[in-house]
Amino acid sequence: MSDLPRKAVTRTAKLAALPLGFAGRSAWGLGKRLGGYSADLVGHELQQRTAEQLFKVLGELKGGAMKFGQALSVFESALPDELAGPYRATLTRLQEAAPPLPAGTVHSVLEQRLGEEWRELFEEFDDKPAAAASIGQVHRAVWHDGREVAVKVQYPGAGEALVSDLAQLGRFARLLGPLIPGMDIKPLIAELRDRVTEELDYALEAEAQRTYAEEYAGDEDVFVPDVVHQGDEVLVTEWMDGIPLSEVIAEGSQEERDRAGQLLSRFLFSGTVRTGLLHADPHPGNFRLVTGGHESPERWRLGVMDFGTVDRLPDGLPSTIGPVLRMTLDGDAEDAYELLREEGFVKEKIELDPDAVRDYLLPIIEPACVEDFAFSREWMRRQAGRIADPRSPAHQLGRQLNLPPSYLLIHRVTLSTIGVLCQLGATVRMREEMETWVPGFAPDEAEPEEYGADAVEDVAYEETSA
């Protein structure tokens, strides 16, 4: 493969093969069961074949197809175990690697963007990519001043591929539903499509990364590599060694998981306050645990990469978020409801019961109810099931709520981060981070040790009984 498959008809055919392939394998599975094979055995093999095809197609196409796959990968925690197993390893591979472009193509891009004498900018350049992602791949090199650097090279045709893929995926959204049961795919694709232009602009990415690097310089908990050089379709940044977060998810000790989860939560809530930006691509492939030679995870820092997708929030998070969450925890349903209405979460012509709205929100913000919260795939599945089940009061109420456009990306980033925390199985002091970094959330006076844990359990019980 010398380049991205750029012809729209070629990419469309490959993407169309996903739902068609799923239908064909379903028929194959039925035949197997009629032939006397165990339904469990056939079901597992069916899911495994689907997962393998998903990685092969999305990984080879890169572009918007792979970006879509990476976005899906952080939500696998919400799937039932019998479905999540085959997808888990396959989707996680999309977070760290994809089939690379050959050296000749990479050299051609560097020559076009850095000049014919591009090799003089480097003391060393490794032709083998260190990582390959959705719109570019990264090579390890040594800059002419001796610094170790990461050279991010945008794939030729990445812009055309992104636009084409996301347009086609939008058309296939309903057919792609069986690949990730319970996932509302269409809004995810629409939001990714809205971010295409920013994702391709390395000047914007360099600006955002410099802002983060400057703010977190010398920070004890977060490390952001600085930008060394930026050009069209080429971005050179400081190299960052560390343990990929995906490795901690796969085989980390509980202490390592907890440290990674705490740092991820701290970065989520502190980043916008400190920089006026929201890092909006929180999949595990964009994070490393920087050990600095320390064996103890308590000394580790969270290394953050890829600032191609950010939300620009110069005034920080919307001022309504903290007070609404605080009122919800404190039982002030009426005032919380009024704030939600003013912000557009409840449309003018709709009247809802404030207590019912609080009951809907409370289990979702359960991690802030207690001093330490243990995130898990089981908890994520309960939340997804409660909201997705058409028979559930939560589902029926949720259909009447509205998510204002200014909150769309914030909402996805928060859900994605929670998905990663559940993959980690980390115990996190979420309430502490929110009280520190979310304006309006900290209580005015001392509160009981557990703000609303009993209320959360009561709501969960009522939902289950219903």
Q: Which two tokens stand for residue 290?
A: 């920087």
Q: Which two tokens stand for residue 66?
A: 């792979």
Q: For the stretch 209-228, what's the b/e string if a residue is b when 16 or more beta carbons lie within 10 angstroms of its beta carbon? A: bbbbbebbeeeeebbbbebb
C-alpha–C-alpha distance, residues 378 and 256, integer Å: 20
Query: Within its chain, how far is the Cα of 319 from the centroid?
Result: 24
CA-based torsion, 322, 323, 325, 326: positive or negative? positive
Say whether 389 is catalytic: no
Backbone angles phi, psi at 11, to 5 degrees: -65, -40
Instruction: Identify whether the C-beta of residue 199 lies closer than 8 Å to the C-beta of residue 64.
Output: no
C-alpha–C-alpha distance, residues 383 and 421, integer Å: 14
Instruction: Identify whether the C-beta of residue 356 lies closer than 8 Å to the C-beta of residue 400.
Output: no
Q: How many helices (H) and strands (E) does the chain have?
A: 19, 13
Which of these is catalytic: 281, 306, 311, 359? 281
Burial class of residue 294, CB neighbours in 10 A (0-12, 13-18, 19+): exposed
**Any idea what DSSP says for residue 312?**
E
- Give, to the nearest 10 degrees, the angle between helix 408-424 and helix 377-388: 140
Query: Within its chain, how far is the Cα of 436 from the centroid?
Result: 23
CA-based torsion, 37, 39, 44, 50: positive or negative? positive
Q: Which two tokens stand for residue 419?
A: 């998905």
Beta partners for residue 234, in sequence order: 153, 231
Instruction: Identify whether the C-beta of residue 412 lies closer than 8 Å to the C-beta of residue 188.
Output: yes
Instruction: Identify whether the C-beta of residue 300 lies closer than 8 Å to the C-beta of residue 291.
Output: yes
Q: Which two tokens stand for residue 90?
A: 């396959």
Instruction: Identify whether the C-beta of residue 433 lies closer than 8 Å to the C-beta of residue 272.
Output: no
C-alpha–C-alpha distance, residues 266 and 18, integer Å: 38
Whose CA is closest to 433, among 222, 247, 243? 222
Q: Which two tokens stand for residue 114?
A: 């850095």
For 152, left (φ over 0), alpha (ψ -120 to 50), or beta?
beta
Kindly list the catalytic residues.
281
